[in-house]
Structure 1
């Protein structure tokens, strides 16, 4: 069907017209009439063809955006989102008919975490648990915030315990930031490929994500400047040291350029460094360059254990009360017992020992992967938990994901991470920490190589 002549065949007139039109778009997407990346007619033409006001189509398209069905590009039109048929949630169910090699989810290296379980047991045995069983203030107990402050300051920030809030993991921290500091309809700039967790949160809250072009140094400042002028951007979400999914690190110059834009346009910076400990250990947080604008999220789950569900966030004074209320209204408080365990590990030398153990294991796994995939274009970090692989021409990420799944390997396609690109992109993110053992990893990599070796073509460069 020619995109210029698409129009809904039927409308449910028992609903408001704009909802009925959005429902029709969704129905035609599900049935295959409208395809990922397909361009929709201009709003005025569509309004004329249906016989409704332009404002009705505008509201319908806004509803479709909130549902994640479409995206618009100024000067180019409106397109069906490339990920409409792709489950965005990271914890998608396993195939019940076969045991998949998990190379989609980035896990914290459970084998190392389990070795540290005895250390956690010792902490619990030597701790007076009674005070930790009581309600505490939403910001967290003072000595927990002090431990978080000391930990965060290793990344170039100058925080005090007063600047720190304790949350139930990084996803809770992100949810609190979006709920407390933004309103439905607000726009947040993100990398063109970004963490799916912020995609699902933004969609649920009616917040619009604006994709910004990337290159080998990270988010493009010139593109961000254009978006700030054009789209009334209110915030920016970045993973500066180890970007998920591309593994790119912001260069020092790029950090300075982005910091200048953040200050110029009074943006709220949400800096998520869940994987910072597998990047440069001497890194300097972008938030340190914009102390009145930056919220720094120090995720602990990938470092010390997913079950602990603790993150520390460094918060400027002007945002503190808003975020405390968000914590109160979501979880009331992070678990003081979990925060105690994390704090004790951080202030001892145990955390550094765990970092080194995980980096060493990740390096061994990455060396194995790089050797296996030497004929293909990959982006990675020496001690990375995952890599980004460009696929030869002829593949889309989704097609390759499904081909790998059919062979017993779970990976994640580029479409899961895309924001606003008008066509599916030929790339996949591959986790090296999902497999339980290096033997499992080796088996999964062999499957990927087998699929690739039966397909010839050059990769399309992302940068």
Structure 2
């Protein structure tokens, strides 16, 4: 049986909730490990001067959350981490019964269909031989196609001293970047709320992951400095441009401060700009500010078309061969047909036309939502794909997600994005793309009604 106990002085009312949070934090931080046996309810109650009923209620909540498991005759144990990814969005089957505002998608209309039909007709008339028979890709800074250069320039990058690897979207690029930056057992740190697949990916790769405190401007350089001073850190993974669930955009000065810490401790930086050039006049990419240590990736998937699974991983030249080898063993190469379509769209100007339409559509939807949610705390980023609605605590978050779903709308819970204790940033992430405008407007009004009925107004 583990000797761990929470500090009785740290518990607040209601005591059962505080005890739940203390145990969850201990599990998240590795103080309590899978298989550890917790004290009996009676012993925990005695140690903390609580009633057995209070401890029993806390244990029941943890069992419901899948954090612990009780075994008859043996006791209560910390549950082993599952290899299944906890998705913040609903299943395809459930989405068919709900207005799905839980998964991030761009706004789609007839222009996307017409563009794809036109391109496929042109390709059918003259199929490039390299697209049919090509079995290798090796785009480096010196010979990248003009299309790749043009798209990355829209993202604020030139490719001097950089290597480029086309990928099957951001997920592939993210995996290769993580494998290139660290080896099993190494420590990577990230914002304490970020990408929902980062935690399982790190676990699958055997990489240790730790969350770093964020505020309204992104990751806190001082908090990053403190972690680096305690133990070696290989890299910091960041989502600096609006795509973070909290919808913040790191200022140029904040980026410079983080880069200063990275240089002082010789950290690599993995920069996730999966939304591409969706934002209006964003700060320069960190890859442009510190090209010697940033592994940067972006894609066309979120800002143009979900089915266009094309991304670009940009790394310093000295990491080019390592990244290319890791991409080869995980994906071999980006799909020729997708990269061909992407190249044509960029060269012909179709990509920029669809990008401009996307920006206008998302701006209109954010303005509509801000008007409906007037008086509530709503956060969004320039031309962002989602809204963030803060909650008072993780229990209100869970209750609101459930209540909103009962009304027929699915939204994502903030705890799914936690890199660390799930209660640090309680809130709801609401996608504003993926639906027709009338459906989007209906969903926003339904969410607003639930928020106000449950005391969501400030």
- 8 A Cα contact 2:89 2:102, kept in partner: no
> Secondary structure in 1 aligned to 2:428?
strand
1:308 deviation in Å?
2.1
> Secondary structure in 1 aligned to 2:244?
coil
- 8 A Cα contact 1:191 1:214, kept in partner: yes
Cα gap change, 1:123/1:249 in structure 2, threshold over 3 Å: closer, same or farther? farther
Cα gap change, 1:434/1:85 in structure 2, threshold over 3 Å: closer, same or farther? farther
- 8 A Cα contact 2:90 2:102, kept in partner: no
Match of 1:320 in 2: 320
> Secondary structure in 2 aligned to 1:306?
coil
Matches within 5 A, 1:172-251: 172-251=172-251
Match of 1:75 in 2: none
Supply the distance in 1 between the matched residues of 2:146 and 2:374 (Cα, whole angstroms). Answer: 45
The alignment covers a number of residue pairs equal to 406
> Secondary structure in 2 aligned to 1:445?
helix
Q: Does 1:261 align with 2:261?
A: yes
Supply the distance in 2 between the matched residues of 1:443 and 1:87 (Cα, whole angstroms). Answer: 30
Supply the distance in 2 between the matched residues of 1:48 and 1:337 (Cα, whole angstroms). Answer: 54
Cα gap change, 1:408/1:94 in structure 2, threshold over 3 Å: closer, same or farther? farther
Match of 1:447 in 2: 446
1:126 deviation in Å?
5.5
Match of 2:116 in 1: 117
Cα gap change, 1:290/1:86 in structure 2, threshold over 3 Å: closer, same or farther? same
Supply the distance in 2 between the matched residues of 1:169 and 1:429 (Cα, whole angstroms). Answer: 22
Q: Does 1:102 align with 2:89?
A: no
Supply the distance in 2 between the matched residues of 1:47 and 1:374 (Cα, whole angstroms). Answer: 48
Deviations 1:87-112 (A, max 9, x none): 62356414549611110101122325
> Secondary structure in 2 aligned to 1:110?
coil
Match of 2:352 in 1: 352
1:305 deviation in Å?
1.8
- 8 A Cα contact 1:193 1:245, kept in partner: yes
- 8 A Cα contact 1:186 1:208, kept in partner: yes
Match of 1:342 in 2: 342
Q: Any unmatched runs of 5+ in structure 1? A: 7-31, 51-67, 71-79
Deviations 1:55-111 (A, max 9, x none): xxxxxxxxxxxxx969xxxxxxxxx89x99996235641454961111010112232
> Secondary structure in 2 aligned to 1:164?
strand
- 8 A Cα contact 1:310 1:339, kept in partner: yes
> Secondary structure in 2 aligned to 1:223?
helix
Supply the distance in 1 between the matched residues of 2:298 and 2:96 (Cα, whole angstroms). Answer: 36
> Secondary structure in 1 aligned to 2:106?
coil
> Secondary structure in 2 aligned to 1:315?
strand
- 8 A Cα contact 1:396 1:424, kept in partner: no
Q: Does 1:363 align with 2:363?
A: yes
Matches within 5 A, 1:394-409: 395-409=395-409
Q: CA-atom RMSD, angstroms?
A: 3.6
Match of 2:277 in 1: 277
Cα gap change, 1:164/1:39 in structure 2, threshold over 3 Å: closer, same or farther? closer
Cα gap change, 1:69/1:319 in structure 2, threshold over 3 Å: closer, same or farther? farther
Deviations 1:248-274 (A, max 9, x none): 111111011111112221111111111
Q: Any unmatched runs of 5+ in structure 2? A: 7-18, 41-65, 69-77
Deviations 1:169-221 (A, max 9, x none): 11001111222331222211111110112222112212222111112221111
Cα gap change, 1:310/1:276 in structure 2, threshold over 3 Å: closer, same or farther? closer
Match of 2:329 in 1: 329
- 8 A Cα contact 1:366 1:382, kept in partner: no
- 8 A Cα contact 2:275 2:300, kept in partner: no
- 8 A Cα contact 2:451 2:457, kept in partner: no
Supply the distance in 2 between the matched residues of 1:374 and 1:409 (Cα, whole angstroms). Answer: 20
- 8 A Cα contact 2:167 2:313, kept in partner: yes
- 8 A Cα contact 2:387 2:429, kept in partner: yes
- 8 A Cα contact 1:145 1:161, kept in partner: no
Match of 2:304 in 1: 304
- 8 A Cα contact 1:398 1:414, kept in partner: no
Supply the distance in 1 between the matched residues of 2:103 and 2:425 (Cα, whole angstroms). Answer: 20
- 8 A Cα contact 2:280 2:383, kept in partner: no
Deviations 1:22-67 (A, max 9, x none): xxxxxxxxxx9999626469679x79999xxxxxxxxxxxxxxxxx
Match of 2:132 in 1: 133
Match of 2:171 in 1: 171
> Secondary structure in 1 aligned to 2:185?
coil
- 8 A Cα contact 1:392 1:456, kept in partner: no
> Secondary structure in 1 aligned to 2:225?
helix
> Secondary structure in 2 aligned to 1:319?
helix
Match of 2:150 in 1: 150
1:368 deviation in Å?
1.4
Match of 1:456 in 2: 455
1:333 deviation in Å?
0.8
Supply the distance in 2 between the matched residues of 1:382 and 1:256 (Cα, whole angstroms). Answer: 21
- 8 A Cα contact 1:106 1:433, kept in partner: yes
* Deviating more after overlay: 118-127 vs 303-312: 118-127
**What's the TM-score once normalised by structure 1's chain length?**
0.78
